[in-house]
Chains A and B, each alone.
Chain A
């Protein structure tokens, strides 16, 4: 099946402080641990490169946590290993996630030098009170400074992460956040705008259990969501996935890879991989990882054809373009209609799915109720 492209994800599990809603694996750590971790990471990347026979990478994503918390030289060392282990394509998209308040000119210069060409900045809100409620460590001004620094360092392909449905958020404060971000000079190429998900194991979850989390009602949440695409389109952004918007040509190639079944290797603590029709995950135990990073990579599931078809649908439909009938046919040797026609027709009748040329895609209402559709493909 699809042999094109291979992606590398690198996980940096460190943060200054964990945000109240965050369920990613991250924690504060001292410099010694960070240093050891970077060494282990390099070892794993080299080992993975060997196993994948130096596959060519169409994208690299250094995520976290807060990768920008590491010294610039650590990022440089990691990138050197990546290039040693893999064949990084000329035009590869190489992203690093940064949080305002952990960014400096010196590091940005290093990022640019070692080939990083995209920055994802976690802002979440332009309202300092909302930022505080989320447990963020920065203000909006901190963000603007970081943003401008990145642009000056020559990395102008920037994503900004935003969040709706924040406790205490109103429609007007959300609109204000959207407009402020779109009005940055230059405007960001990409905006991720998520509805807050209260995940189990986070302080927000506990607060919600205790009835102490004042998140907007479902109806308000949807109004915010619809407002997002309306306002962003005013500024030239098009929604291309449930929560992602981009200026034309700036869709995040790395993430699109996840939704279109491009194989990837995830390096680092708790990182997930997908290749050879199987999913893997690394240990989430730091000590084991530091002891022997190459032995911490475990198979979690092998995907049979039915699983692959199911994933093709539930991941592909996340994108507004939808899933291609032709692509389905060519990948699986069976037509999408033969496999899923029954479900698809039902949802077309309910107004959740629609056919557009070669594509089957969610309607606007379908985007709000994507799970209803996706469950039927499981």
Chain B
């Protein structure tokens, strides 16, 4: 394979700036698929991705482009997720590329994720060239955006192709730019094998399918490969490349090529993203740089709404993990919710996606507890615990101090909203770092924020306070000592473990009060009065009461009503069955969820 005819590249963009649409056009124009075969977005092949308009798993596609110079080039287009939760996956995908197309919306200009992703690409020494998308929009200002790219990012943008991916305008220009501006891969096919894993997925027929970029050497059927970080070793069954939406086997993958390997590997945990695949019999001297083990950032309890469905949930999590090694889970028991799992996620979006997939693809009704970050608890006996479940917090007398994770946050916002965004960050215990005007109308605000302040509803608050104009990106900075307390909820004098959470001592009262108010609305009236109390360290800090039920009766029931009234009673009875019994109180599933949505803006 002539390496000079290969182009490995990705597209980076802020969310909604048109990355997937451009990818579709490139695939279409390079002729692998006819327009009729195109689904709306070929790269996003999960329903969920299409509905949310985001790309969850990075994927790759190989197409053939006949350039103006008359030669046929192999394009390996590697799709990257656009969300901060998946930053590590993004970085590995970038490492598999030699260049990147930067898509910037002609109306919106540079956004927080544009910056984050471009810097990430530049960090990986990728050649980046910009394209200005959505020039068909009436509000498009291509010249302003070009200037902005040059000013803010510092890359040449005056000859950036002006395109509309949606309408197919300017795509030829982009394709030529890929040929001319993205370098061909380097590497030596005769050197020992080193291939970067940038993704993997589980297929029930083939086992784990490993997505690799071969940096040096050659891999083919029969090669005995070894994963350098996990140590897993297998014989290659098949290699191939990515046709749009399908796997096309080939003889070998050599330096510079992007493709897949199958080797009857059973679990994804053996093929971690970022790991290096080498030849077990002729290994490379050291692994490719940049591998790290992905750690979950957010944890929550996930329980089946119907406790009889525990095994189904377990099976579903097992299956999901086959395709998503970053999903962590272990069994846990809650007095209120019964048997379930403590699950770890890369972030809130990841949590949402997994929850939705469990409900949609596996038809499960779930109850999830409030998401929690990982706290470090330094005990008086000198040991340290990583606390992922608030219920496991040791007795205060055993705690020396606690630390919570802090992130570096970058928020980009038009100047009108700077005030309200800064106010929000202050409220969320943010520490102001800096603010600069990146151009006349817009500012880049930097804050250090506790992660636990942004995992609930920070995105929503940000959006509503900036009328959708703010964009946001963060990365984990480290841990800091903090004054944290556990807030417990007592319903009818009984503590409900699933409702406990860790909160900064300054916000305990406020949170406790809101929790009680919310629960009061969620818990139906019973035959008796139900006190709802929020407690910190055994002291009640807020209280509400659910009054005793006074009326539950069908006023009328005559000959024509009997069937209908019976059905109504049956339905009510079913509804009761789905409630959780805590002591003598029945708590609807929704109560556990609703307390997650304590709107901090009001």
A interface residues (Cβ-Cβ under 8 A, vs B): 7, 9, 11, 24, 194-197, 218-219, 221-222, 225, 242-243, 255, 258-259, 264, 266, 270-272, 274, 279, 281, 300-301, 310-311, 314-315, 318, 350, 352, 367-372, 374-375, 378
The CB with the most chain A CB atoms within 10 A, among B553, B562, B570, is that of: B553
Shortest A22–chain B CB gap in Å is 12
Q: Which residues of A contact B555 (CB under 8 A)?
A: 194-197, 242-243
User: Is B550 an interface residue, CB under 8 A from the partner?
Assistant: yes
Interchain CB contact under 8 A, B559 and A274: yes
Contact B560 A371 (CB under 8 A): no
Chain B residue at minimal CB-CB distance from A318: B557
Is B569 engaged at the interface, CB distance under 8 Å to the other chain? yes
List 24 interface pairs A-B (beta carbons < 8 Å), by A numbering.
Answer: A11-B560, A24-B560, A194-B556, A195-B551, A195-B553, A197-B554, A197-B556, A225-B551, A242-B554, A258-B558, A258-B559, A272-B563, A279-B563, A300-B563, A310-B566, A368-B551, A369-B552, A369-B553, A371-B554, A371-B569, A372-B527, A374-B569, A375-B569, A378-B573
A350 touches B527 (CB 8 A): yes
Name 15 extra pairs, CB < 8 A, besides A24-B560, A221-B551, A258-B559.
A7-B559, A9-B560, A195-B551, A222-B551, A258-B558, A281-B563, A314-B566, A352-B527, A367-B553, A368-B551, A369-B549, A369-B552, A371-B572, A374-B569, A375-B569
Smallest CB–CB gap between A42 and chain B, Å?
20
Verify B566–A372 contact, CB threshold 8 A: no
In the complex the two chains form, is B563's CB within 8 Å of A9's CB? no
Contact between B569 and A314, CB atoms less than 8 A apart: yes
Q: How far is the CA of A315 from the CA of B561 in the complex (A)?
A: 11
Q: A328: shortest Cβ distance to chain B, in Å?
A: 18
Closest CB of chain B to A296's CB: distance in Å? 15
Interface residues, chain B, CB within 8 Å of chain A?
527, 549-560, 562-563, 566, 569-570, 572-573, 576
Of chain B, the residue at the smallest CB distance from A197 is B555
Residue of B557, B558, B576 near A375 (CB, 8 A) is: B576
Q: CA–CA, A271 to B559, complex, Å?
A: 9
Q: Which of B551, B558, B563, B569 contacts A378 (CB 8 A)?
A: B569
Minimum distance in angstroms from B100 CB to a CB of chain A: 51
Cα–Cα, bound, A258→B527 (Å): 29
A279 pairs with B552, CB closer than 8 A:
no
State the 3 A-B residue pairs at the shortest beta-carbon distance, nearest first: A370-B553, A272-B560, A371-B552
Are A369 and B559 closer than 8 Å at their CB atoms? no
Residue from A197, A272, A371 in contact with B559 in the complex, judged by beta carbons closer than 8 Å: A272
Cβ-defined contact, B562 with A279, below 8 A: yes
Min CB–CB distance A217 → chain B (angstroms) = 10
Do the beta carbons of A378 and B550 come within 8 Å of each other? no
What separation, in Å, do the CA atoms of A310 and B554 have in the docked complex?
16
Overall SS of chain A's interface? mixed
For residue B558, which residue of chain A has the nearest CB? A258
On whether the beta carbons of A266 and B569 are closer than 8 Å, the reply is no
Question: Is the pair B551, A315 in contact by a Cβ cutoff of 8 Å?
Answer: no
Q: Are A301 and B563 in contact (CB under 8 A)?
A: yes
Contacts A314-B566, A375-B569, A375-B576: A266 and B560 contacting too (C-beta < 8 A)? yes
Which residues on the B side are within 8 Å of A350 (C-beta)?
A: 527
Q: Is the CB of B551 within 8 A of A375?
A: no
- Nearest residue (CB) in A for B528 is A350
- Please give, as numbers and ranges, the residues of chain A lying within 8 Å of B560 by CB-CB distance: 9, 11, 24, 266, 270-272
A222: chain B residues within 8 A (beta carbon):
550-551
Contact, CB under 8 Å: A368 / B563 = no
In the bound complex, do residue B551 and residue A369 qualify as a contact, i.e. CB atoms below 8 Å apart?
Answer: yes
Contacts of B573 in A (CB 8 A): 375, 378
Residues of B within 8 A of A9 (CB): 559-560
Contacts of A315 in B (CB 8 A): 557, 562
**B418 CB to closest chain A CB, in angstroms?**
37
Q: Do A242 and B553 touch across chains, with their CB atoms under 8 A apart? A: yes
Q: Is the CB of A264 within 8 A of B569?
A: no
Q: Are B554 and A311 in contact (CB under 8 A)?
A: no
Contact residues in B for A258 (Cβ distance below 8 Å): 557-559, 562
Residue in chain B with minimal CB distance to A265: B559
B residues in contact with A259, CB < 8 Å: 557
Bound together, the chains give a CA A24 to CA B559 distance in angstroms of 12
Which residues of the other chain, A, contact B553 by a CB distance below 8 angstroms?
Answer: 195, 242, 367-371
For B576, the chain A residues whose CB sits under 8 A away are: 375
Q: How far is the CA of A243 from the CA of B556 in the complex (A)?
A: 7
- Among A218, A311, A352, A378, contact of B562 (Cβ-Cβ < 8 Å): A311
* B300: min CB distance to chain A, Å: 33
A378 to B563 CA separation, bound complex (whole angstroms): 12
Complex-state Cα separation, A42 to B554, whole angstroms: 33
Contacts of A24 in B (CB 8 A): 560
How many angstroms from the CA of A369 to the CA of B570 in the assembled complex? 16
User: Which residues of B lie under 8 Å from residue A371 when comparing CB positions?
Assistant: 552-554, 569, 572
Cβ of B527: which chain A residues have Cβ within 8 Å of it?
350, 352, 369, 372
B572 to chain A: which residues have CB within 8 Å? 371, 375
Q: Which residues of B contact A225 (CB under 8 A)?
A: 551
**Chain A residues with CB below 8 A from B563, complex form:** 272, 279, 281, 300-301
Q: Which residue of chain B is the closest to A7 with respect to CB atoms?
A: B559
Report the Cα distance A9→B557, complex, angstroms.
15
* Alpha-carbon distance between A374 and B549 when the two chains are bound, in angstroms: 16
- Select B570's contact among A264, A271, A367, A378, beta carbons within 8 Å: A378
User: Which chain B residues border A7 with CB–CB below 8 Å?
Assistant: 559
Q: Are B562 and A368 in contact (CB under 8 A)?
A: no
Least CB distance, A191 to chain B, in whole angstroms = 14
User: Measured between C-beta atoms, what is the minimum distance from A8 to chain B in Å?
Assistant: 10
Q: Which residues of A contact B550 (CB under 8 A)?
A: 218-219, 222, 368-369
Chain B's closest residue to A243 (CB) is: B555
Residues of B with C-beta under 8 A to A281: 563
A346 to chain B, nearest CB (A): 11
When distances are taken between beta carbons in the complex, the residues of chain B under 8 Å from A195 are: 551, 553, 555
Residues from chain B with a CB closer than 8 A to the CB of A310 are 566
State in angstroms the CA–CA spacing of A311 and B563 once bound together. Answer: 10
Write out the residue numbers on chain A whose beta carbons fall within 8 Å of the beta carbon of B549: 369, 372
A378 to B574, CA, bound (A): 11
CA–CA, A195 and B554, complex, Å = 9
User: A264 contacts B559, CB within 8 Å?
Assistant: yes
Contacts of B570 in A (CB 8 A): 378
Residues of B within 8 A of A218 (CB): 550-551
Task: State A237–B92 Cα separation when bound (angstroms).
Answer: 83
CA distance A222 to B553 in the complex (A): 11
Tell me how far the C-beta of A289 lies from the nearest C-beta in chain B, rounded to whole angstroms. Answer: 15
> In the complex, what distance in Å separates the CA atom of A374 from the CA atom of B566?
9
Is there an interface contact between A266 and B559, defined as CB atoms closer than 8 Å? yes
A370 touches B559 (CB 8 A): no
**B459 CB, nearest partner CB in chain A, Å:** 29
Q: Which residue of A lies closest to B549 (CB)?
A: A369
Please indicate the chain B residues that have their CB under 8 angstroms from the CB of A270 in the complex.
Answer: 560
| Chain A residues within an 8 Å CB radius of B556 | 194, 197, 243
Given A314-B569, A375-B573, A378-B573; A370-B554 close (CB under 8 Å) = yes
| Chain B residues positioned under 8 Å from A272 (CB to CB) | 559-560, 562-563
CA distance A281 to B558 in the complex (A): 14
CB contacts (< 8 Å) of A369 on chain B: these are 527, 549-553
Q: Which residue of A lies closest to B552 (CB)?
A: A371
The distance from the CB of B529 to the nearest CB of chain A, in whole angstroms, is 14
User: In the complex, A226→B376 CA distance in Å?
Assistant: 59
